[in-house]
Structure 1
Amino acid sequence: MKVLLIAPRGKKTSYNKFSKWDNVGLGLLYLVSSLKENGFEVQVALTDNEGVKKYLDVFHPDIIGITCVTSTYNTAIAILKTVKAYDKSIITVIGGHHVTFTVEETLNESCVDYAVRGEGEEVFPKLLKNLMKDKPHELIEGVCFKRGKRIYNKNSIAMVKDINKLPHPDRDSVKHYDFPGIYMLSSRGCPFKCTFCSAANLYGGVWRKRNVENILDELEGIKDIRKNKVTVQFGDESLTVDTKWAKELCRGIIERGFKFNWYPNSRIDSINRDPELLKLMKEAGCKGLSLGIESGVQEIIDSLCKGITLKQALGAAEKMKDAKLYQQWYLMIGSGDKYDEPKYIKQSIEFMKKFPFDLLQISILTPFPGTRLYNQLKKEGRIINTNWDLYDGLHCVYKPLGMTAEQLEKELTIAYREVYMHAGIWAFFRRILRFKNTLANSRNFFTFINLLIKVGLFRKDIRVALE
């Protein structure tokens, strides 16, 4: 049985220009390894509904597996329509965060045969083996399908009980794409309850870490890992949930003699509570961290259930500055509640003007399906747009209470201009030269400079600048 796994291409006129979502995510590479381990022939494609035709002509798959996030869902469905038009007998399976929380809509509105909720490494091979045994409707945890008007299994989610038992992701299957950098996962899930993040609902507040030796063994298999030629991006929700474990990983990297640049996501509170952590991360080759401050207004941070304070954020920033680590921060415009007013956005911008970041990515608050925020806004009738293409951090898809959606969208461009340009043109260029290494490669560096120049100097709207 031949399986084609597809990652839909992200839109070029969005933050996908800098994002892993215009890439083949680790989820698919883990699936490749699991499927091969179970004897299936697998090929991977990063494509759209036009490009998929060449894979159908050449590879002749029996099964199509496709993953998506919210902003690539429409592309994924378009691809599946092309597949079914080409050959109705090809079995189609879809998965990913978005589908996990919209499984009924997905199965009712599309031509897909199966939808997987949660993690697919164990259940997807089981499904394929059942299909080979002519048992297409045997229930498997997390695998949903429709018969007549009934949807089966819609309330179950597949979770891998022991992630240490999974085979390492098959990076050789995408080496022809020559992606910049290498992505890794050392843990899954998140124990925190931010209202705007779907991880809390997907993983039920459970955080699972891999054994340090398991992670080090995966790193061992990466070419040139000891020659300072490799950049690794850890895609964990936060690498530093357990600082004792994170430090054990750093010591393991040092002891094995690995020499590579790496960048994790982290949390402000982790950095503040363990003064030894940053020093050890730096010694192990870490070059910078990505963190979410989300807002420069404490009341908004509290309403988002972020669990941090602005004082803690400033403390973490100073510690990273002292350790000479690059700082990439994330800020959102909007709150989804009574704080959606121009005065609070201005207050947030004023705070960030004084903040010692190297790179700041600013987005519009987006209520993704599966988040508490989405559920609340939907209950209040304030979701005004369900064109998933617009769930990209550049569009306001909900009705703010103290301003219009259009006004909030304009504030995004103003925020970029004021935060980056308030100290003048030369300070702007000194800043962007400092954060060169925080982007995956030189192409992304110059693309981001171009974006900031268009917005900051030529006063273009950010969505126009991204075209």
Structure 2
Amino acid sequence: MINVTGNAPHTLLVNPTMTSRASARFPLSLLHLAASLDREGNSRIIDGNLDRDVVARTLQALDERDYTAVGISVMGGPQLEPAIAVSRAVRERRPGLPIVWGGYFPTLYTETALSAPYVDFAIRGQGEESFPELVAALHQGDAARLPAIHGLSRKHEEGVVHNASRPFSRQGPVAVLPYEKLGDPRRYLARTFLGRRTVAHQASVGCRFRCTFCGVAAMFGGATALPPLARLERDLRYLKYELGADSIQYVDHNFFDREQDMIPLLEIMARYELPWWCYARADALLNLSESTWKLVRKSRLRMAYIGAESPSPAMLRDIRKGTRPDQTLAVAELCRRHGVIPELSFMVAPPENTEEETEHTFEFIREIKRINPQSEIIVYIYTPLPESSRHEKDRHRRSTMPLRDLQGEPVVFPATPEEWTQKRWVDYACHADAPWVSERLRRRIDDFVTVLRCRYPTVQDLRSPTWAKRTLAAAASWRYGLRRYDRPWELNLANRLVRLRMPQVSGL
């Protein structure tokens, strides 16, 4: 526990490198934290997606002034290794400076995060209230206040202590987010198929559905909050007229909720007419009335990312998805009629009936392409969360078969952040591999995806020339038509030259 001199606490917020500079989008979680921290203090943001030497920039910031704490946003997968590097560097340069991890990884794997000597505190779930309360206690040197901070996990002489969870908050920022903390925020506007200056924005938070594999369900426990109308209009006005955005990628966890709640929001969006992309559910889109679809078209929705997950009704029930395979087929046709591209994601290679379910999914994808050839297809390997990572409301609610690897041994998840940086666990976090998937099946999946994406190049690929995409589509047509997916050597060779975009890797 330290006491930093000064009238107001200063907090350093770090977003470790996770993607390329070209794919960098606003670090929205840190912008929301900064808005909360700045009510009673000051904050600075370092974004490793643009500041590529994030360790050096962080150490430079520590040399320039004293901070009460360093908050590091951490997701699993590729962001974990740079998060560890930043944390270790901070610990070495400022041994007494508290290091706080927040975000999906410390929420889902709290004990694992706090096992590291370079992590002092973990914020579980939303941090806009918990983190400022922690910073205030640290700034005043008041350790007695720590047990009362909801959503906080911390180290103690007797081990890790988990404070009570913080109830879901529906409060949003009272003003436009402090984008100026990122330097020139226009650096984050990207050229995409939506427009020349696409901006990332989050209007709502959470999702009322409780899919067992989903980190959003684990983090928010089925809670959701839509934005007040005035806030949405305020934000769209700023993004369009101040920043110059001409299109929006809504990263809301589930944009379309209940129709009656969405209509007023769509009316505002229709006035601004900014082409947009969002996450959605098949059942929600199918339940929209024709008058609401008219608003959707006027607001210029271009693409909706829809979690189809599986053509198996049994699997959809088991993962608590709440949708049916026939709804996936129906939404593909519905989107075709309304000029919206459905970006459908599937999870193949489940732990049970692994190969059969995978082949069944391949055939289902072909049926979708027959109904709507413009449908974009994203294929992931099914990697469920450990039971301990689910939201406290959902743990042990139903008996689940233990996960086993190819040798029949129980899958043991990593116990330290360093173990999670091993390639096999990074692949697991990114839904690219699982311990029960054989090398033969993994190659089969890769080959199918290669043939599919060559036969139907994504509309999101603005880099590859049209002639190259057409050539690849023609070259892949015979394999796709005859279901000859195995070892597409000629397509792999061509891909080395053309390098088609892969949305599941690069994002929008």
Tell whether the structures are fold-level matches, with TM greater than 0.5: yes
Distance 1:105 1:37 in 2: 32
Q: Which moved more, 1:270-279 or 1:258-267?
A: 270-279
Aligned to 2:4: none
* TM-score of the pair, normalised by structure 1: 0.82
Moved over 6 A (4+): 372-375, 452-456, 460-463
Distance 2:89 2:433 in 1: 30
Distance 1:24 1:252, change over 3 A: closer
Distance 1:461 1:97 in 2: 37
CA RMSD for the aligned pairs?
Answer: 3.5
Aligned to 2:220: 203
Distance 2:451 2:363 in 1: 9
Equivalent residue of 1:109, what SS? coil
Residue ranges of structure 2 left out of the alignment (5+ in a row): 1-8, 191-197, 421-425, 477-487
For the Cα contact (< 8 Å) 2:206–2:216, is it kept in 1?
yes
Aligned runs of 1:11-26 on 2, under 5 Å? 23-26=25-28
Of residues 359, 376, 393 in structure 2, which corresponds to 1:346? 359
Aligned: 1:416 with 2:449: yes
Aligned runs of 1:299-314 on 2, under 5 Å? 299-314=314-329
The CA deviation string for residues 410-464 of structure 1, in whole angstroms up to 9 with x for no partner, is: 233123134345xxxxxx3xx436x23xx7xx46999x979x999785337999x
Of residues 234, 237, 240 in structure 1, which corresponds to 2:253? 237
Of residues 68, 72, 83 in structure 2, which corresponds to 1:76? 83
Aligned runs of 1:135-214 on 2, under 5 Å? 135-138=142-145, 139=147, 140-152=149-161, 154=162, 156-164=164-172, 166-176=174-184, 178-179=187-188, 180=190, 181-214=198-231
Of residues 229, 234, 238 in structure 2, which corresponds to 1:221? 238
Aligned to 2:70: 64
The CA deviation string for residues 139-188 of structure 1, in whole angstroms up to 9 with x for no partner, is: 21112211223222x15333453324654432222254712232222222
Equivalent residue of 1:221, what SS? helix
Letter aligned with residue 321 of structure 1: R
Aligned to 1:383: 411
Aligned: 1:316 with 2:331: yes
The CA deviation string for residues 228-266 of structure 1, in whole angstroms up to 9 with x for no partner, is: x52211112211111122121111233xx4131111111
* TM-score of the pair, normalised by structure 2: 0.76
Q: CA deviation at 1:84?
A: 0.7
For the Cα contact (< 8 Å) 1:265–1:291, is it kept in 2?
yes
Distance 1:202 1:226 in 2: 31
Distance 1:282 1:104, change over 3 A: same
Q: CA deviation at 1:394?
A: 5.1
Percentage of matched positions with identical amino acids = 20
Aligned to 2:481: none
Aligned: 1:248 with 2:248: no
Distance 1:292 1:208 in 2: 20
Distance 1:17 1:331 in 2: 26
Aligned to 1:46: 48
For the Cα contact (< 8 Å) 2:14–2:58, is it kept in 1?
no
For the Cα contact (< 8 Å) 1:36–1:42, is it kept in 2?
no
Q: CA deviation at 1:291?
A: 0.6
Aligned: 1:364 with 2:381: yes
For the Cα contact (< 8 Å) 1:99–1:115, is it kept in 2?
yes
Letter aligned with residue 209 of structure 1: L
Distance 1:383 1:60 in 2: 46
Q: CA deviation at 1:50?
A: 5.2
Q: CA deviation at 1:112?
A: 1.2
Equivalent residue of 2:457, what SS? helix
For the Cα contact (< 8 Å) 2:104–2:125, is it kept in 1?
yes
Letter aligned with residue 100 of structure 2: V
For the Cα contact (< 8 Å) 1:334–1:365, is it kept in 2?
yes
Aligned to 2:194: none
Distance 2:102 2:223 in 1: 20
Distance 1:79 1:405 in 2: 35
Aligned runs of 1:123-138 on 2, under 5 Å? 123-138=130-145
Equivalent residue of 2:82, what SS? helix
Structure with max Cα Rg? 2
Aligned to 2:284: 270
For the Cα contact (< 8 Å) 1:9–1:75, is it kept in 2?
yes
Q: CA deviation at 1:292?
A: 1.0
| Alignment length (residue pairs) | 436
For the Cα contact (< 8 Å) 2:46–2:54, is it kept in 1?
no
For the Cα contact (< 8 Å) 1:70–1:391, is it kept in 2?
no
Aligned to 2:104: 97
Q: CA deviation at 1:384?
A: 5.4
Distance 1:367 1:405, change over 3 A: farther
Distance 1:156 1:460 in 2: 55
Distance 1:70 1:462 in 2: 28
Equivalent residue of 1:94, what SS? strand
Residue ranges of structure 1 left out of the alignment (5+ in a row): 422-427
Distance 2:464 2:15 in 1: 20
Q: CA deviation at 1:407?
A: 3.3
Equivalent residue of 1:459, what SS? helix
Equivalent residue of 2:34, what SS? helix
Aligned to 1:2: 10
Q: CA deviation at 1:397?
A: 3.0
Letter aligned with residue 446 of structure 2: T
Q: CA deviation at 1:310?
A: 1.8
Aligned: 1:87 with 2:94: yes
The CA deviation string for residues 83-131 of structure 1, in whole angstroms up to 9 with x for no partner, is: 1112212221111112112212211233112111111111211111111
Equivalent residue of 1:89, what SS? coil
Q: CA deviation at 1:207?
A: 1.9
